[in-house]
Amino acid sequence: MLAALAPGASTVELPNRGEDVLATRDAVAALGARVDDRGKAIVVEGGRLLDPASTIDARNSGTTVRLLLGLCAGHGISARFDGDDSLRRRPMERVAKPLRAVGANVETSDGRLPAVVRGVMNPPGGEFALEIPSAQVKSAILLANLAATGPVRITGDRHSRDHTERMLRHLGRDIAFDGRTIELRPGSLKAGRIRIPADLSGAAFFIVAAAITPGSELLLLEVGVNPTRTGFLDVMRAMGADIVLEHERDLDGEPVADLRVHYHPLQAAAIDGDLVVRAIDEIPILAVAAAHATGTTRVRDAAELRAKESDRIAVIATTLRACGVDAVEHPDGFDVTGGGARPPAQPLATHGDHRIAMAIAALAAPTGPHTIDDAHCSAVSFPDFFELWRTAQS
């Protein structure tokens, strides 16, 4: 998205080939950017974008639609967005409301998709207070204000992921952020080279599988270890996992490291507060670690999980119980009492949720195969997952 706005050619190297990324690629092309997908790199010729000729289909990607609503809102673009049945159930007013404050006209369908945005040019900037600490919301606000004539200040964050802020700085913008407040000064983007680290959220499934399977040793290369994303690693270490970061370094503004994991018995932990914000996407796989830990792991302050691709709180609890694990559901989380899992009597339902499908694979690592109803849904974020999974187990 940023490359589409920056005049000139930008090269995005080692992009994830997940369906969410491809949906974004196609969406920026529909907005007028020239996109040359070379497989391991995508070259984007950016600059002036245009109203799309037809509805932009974000497919299953909440990040795509929410951030592009922001981009259109502040760059004078009118567009209609839609998605699949799962995305149509997800809330959009959390983004629409601050974008209206920018001056854009944003219409949702009872707070959901389809949505229409009619953007403004050169908004004035100003101060925005986040109602929830969401990386998607603050990124939408930043995208809407990249052409602002005055400074922009966003408050109310709680160390939600800061990839957008870091990439803006990498592409030449004057931006400050400390985990609580973001300040963006007027300026312009510069096209450039953007190398993408391996995704910690994807690596998490392999890390937990190695941590709970006796005799395992695993080395994962060049994984992103951005501090706003390492809540997962903090929880795993609190549970006693043997995870070592090697060769820590910087990759185009993002910290990366090689991760070495050995099996080690785990113990229960508490996951709540800011830690949940920093590990929200990894909660399903942390529930798998909890199922193989000693004691009861308690997750709270995670009501956001009910508005993901599935109601992850309910699905996690149901899945673990089907595998003989004591799991109790709460409005904003769950309790998991460990002791190991067993293969289920019936195929497990993924509810079309990529993270649930991959979490079940990790759950099965020490116990034997678990049958699921939909392996393809993993392609939303990790199309090569099961191929790499077989390699890791060999």
Task: Please provide the DSSP assignment of 209-242 as one string.
Answer: HHHHSTT-EEEEEEEE--TTTTHHHHHHHHTT-E
pLDDT at position 173: 98
Extract the tokens encoding 58: 């974000």
Residues recognised as catalytic: 281
The answer to whether 199 touches 249, Cβ cutoff 8 Å, is no
- Say yes or no: 166 and 20 in one domain: yes
Helix (H) or strand (E) holding 175: strand 175-177
- Say yes or no: 91 and 240 in one domain: no
Out of 195, 216, 234, a domain closes at 195
Which pLDDT tens digits describe the chain residue by residue (394 residues)?
999 999 999 999 987 888 999 999 999 999 999 999 999 999 999 998 999 999 999 999 999 999 999 999 999 999 999 999 989 999 999 999 999 999 999 999 999 999 999 999 999 999 999 998 899 999 999 999 999 999 999 999 999 999 999 999 999 999 999 999 999 999 999 999 999 999 999 999 999 999 999 999 999 999 999 999 999 999 999 999 999 999 999 999 999 999 999 999 999 999 999 899 889 999 999 999 999 999 999 999 999 999 898 999 999 999 999 999 999 999 999 999 999 899 999 999 999 999 999 999 999 999 888 999 999 999 989 999 999 998 887 7
The answer to whether 303 touches 347, Cβ cutoff 8 Å, is no
Report the alpha-carbon angle 334-339-345, nearest 5.
Answer: 85
- Say yes or no: 204 and 190 in one domain: no
**Domain hosting residue 36, numbered range:** 2-195
User: Closest Cα to residue 248, out of 236, 258, 261?
Assistant: 258
**For residue 115, what is the domain's CATH number?**
3.65.10.10
